[in-house]
Structure 1
Amino acid sequence: MGAGLWRWDDDPGGSFSAVAVRKWLAASCPGVSNPKLDWCKWVPIKCNIFMWRLMLNMLKWIPTKLALLRRNINDENTTCVLCGDGEDEGDHIFTGYAFSMSMWNDVLRWLGLPNYFAFSVSDILDIHKVDGLSATRKHIIKGMVMVCFWRNWRARNDCIFNQKMGNVVEVVVEIKAFGFLWFSNRYKDFVNHRKGWSNVMLL
């Protein structure tokens, strides 16, 4: 082949695709399941990728303290910096301490859903599939769940790297603001026609 040309060695024809990468990752990590994530088009790619990594396997793909310790690149202290109780691992960070539980209850109440007691990440992922909701509301709730996970992870990182303790009220306000910004950017005519973000929640 000529100079300057690139080819994907894992494909017989040399073609590169996201599907090929996914297959390569699955083959490289035989102990990791290969879940299917239906990406949400109105949230940024960073949120979709974060959820994909979270679904693949939290202990390997999300760099929690416990995950880093298992890779031998961290000290032995795996205590959660946000509450000082429990280990810094996926289920605890996203559902297992007061900050995350308050965040979920506030956001779900705003979305018109009842309080939800989750014990693991998997308990939250399908919450948008509740019966009786319109397709539009399910689409919105699915995206908002992604925004919540992403913002919760940022709060955890701010505490570790910037010594900034998260405030639930401020984080929930940011989640609502990001949600409106990203959804309205994708569906400008829809939001304007419905006279605002709050009315969208009633669909």
Structure 2
Amino acid sequence: MDDSMQVFTYFLKNSLQVEEESPGWKINKIWLDNWIGNQAFCIKFPRLFRLEENKESLVRDHWNDGWTWSWSRPIGVGITSTHLSNLLNLIDNVQLNEDKDEWVWTLDKSNTFVVKSTRHHIDSLLLPDSQPHTSWCRYIPKKVNIFHWCALRNRLPTRWNLSDKCIDIESIICPVCMSSPETVEHTLWTCSLATFIWLKTFQWLDLDFPSSLNITGVLEDLDHRHFSKKNKEIVAAILGVVFWSLLKFENETIFSRLSPKRAGLMDKIVETSFIWFTNRNRKYNISLNNWLHNPLVFSTMKSFF
């Protein structure tokens, strides 16, 4: 199936719904179609969906003077049992009748096809969303740029995100501070280690610490500051190194035999940022001593030695 056909299929699935008076129990798939509520059951209850033996079954296949199910194994106590209770509560008051099921066009209030509303819906599916803007920094490795892009879109495999994908893990608590769930924001900004490193970084660069509560706000704050072109490039490179170093420290905490030392992390960030930046920009002849003092100060001078 080509891309245009996939878009059209997705468009139809999200545009056509069954009237509320007759919840489509004869023609709708109980798990895959959005026949009741605002979300398909396969998305709302993914653990139950994985246990369903016939994932293509219709609503009518599960009704015989009461709701019947075909699970691949018995459902015990825990999250899966809670999901089953929530599912039964959701469909408990559904009234099934013998009326003919009808499809209606829900993109317009009139329930009739209108080109304008259809176009708006297609645009909302295809046009770029309002996700945070990221700029490619040529003075850090490609993998760090990609990591930065993923972090701003909450696409890192943190414990919280893995749990949200129904992947069973021992704990969702941050392995570094052991006090809060390991989310992207926590790992890179609000964790006690991250907060300490960011304070040291802004002190090193002689910059006011931003008041923002999230990473996106920090980047926007720095973007609105009046830096020279050279200093913007330096700040972008250092931010990338800080993000990467925090993640690397956390991974070493989890997987390394020897626990990493917090005391040397800031020194490693300064050293790594100097090596990456100067190796990728031979025009900036700044010495290590000047970089250690404050790269933003010495980058404005004609001579960097």
Distance in 2 (alpha carbons) for counterparts of 1:199 and 1:154:
24
1:14 alignment partner in structure 2: none
Matched, 1:47 2:141: no
Tell me by how many angstroms 1:173 deviates: 0.9
Q: Output the CA distance in 1 between the equivalents of 2:266 and 2:289.
A: 22
Which of 186, 193, 208 is the matching residue for 1:114? 208
CA distance in 2 between partners of 1:79 and 1:195 (Å): 39
Unaligned runs of 5+ in 2: 5-124, 301-305
Counterpart mapping for 1:48-87 below 5 A:
48-56=145-153, 58=154, 61-75=155-169, 77-87=171-181
1:117: how far off? 4.5
Q: 1:147, 1:179 within 8 Å by CA — same for their partners in 2?
A: yes
Post-superposition Cα deviations, 1:134-179, rounded to whole Å, max 9, x if no partner, equal: 2211211111111101110111111111154443331111111111
Gapped regions of structure 1 (runs ≥ 5)? 1-8, 12-26
Report if aligned partners of 1:51, 1:146 keep a CA contact under 8 Å in 2: yes
More helix by share: 1
Instruction: Give the conservation status (yes or no) of the 8 Å contact 1:191–1:200.
Output: no
Task: Return the match for 2:232 from 138, 151, 154.
Answer: 138
Provide the residue aligned with 1:183 in structure 2: 277
In structure 2, C-alpha distance between the alignment counterparts of 1:81 and 1:149, rounded to whole Å: 17
Within a 5 Å distance, the mapping from 1:1-203 to structure 2 comes to 34-56=131-153, 58=154, 61-75=155-169, 77-162=171-256, 164-192=258-286, 196-197=290-291, 198=293, 200-202=295-297, 203=300
CA distance in 1, matches of 2:254, 2:226: 41
Cα RMSD for the two superposed structures: 3.0
Q: Aligned residues, how many?
A: 177
Q: Structure 1 length as normaliser, TM-score?
A: 0.75
Of the two, which has the highest radius of gyration?
2
Once residues 196 and 188 of structure 1 are traced to their aligned partners in structure 2, the CA distance between those partners, rounded to angstroms, is: 16
Deviation at 1:128, TM superposition (A): 3.0
Kept in 2, the 8 Å contact 1:81–1:160? The answer is yes
Q: Is the 8 A contact 2:197 2:266 kept in 1?
A: yes
Residue identity opposite 1:45 in structure 2: K
Letter in 2 for 1:121: I
Q: State the shift of 1:200 in Å.
A: 3.5
**Which residue does 2:27 correspond to in 1?**
none
Distance 1:172 1:117 in 2: 21
CA distance in 1, matches of 2:212, 2:228: 23
d(CA) in 1 for partners of 2:262, 2:233: 24
Where 1:173 maps in the other structure, the secondary structure is helix
> Displacement of 1:111 after TM fit?
1.3
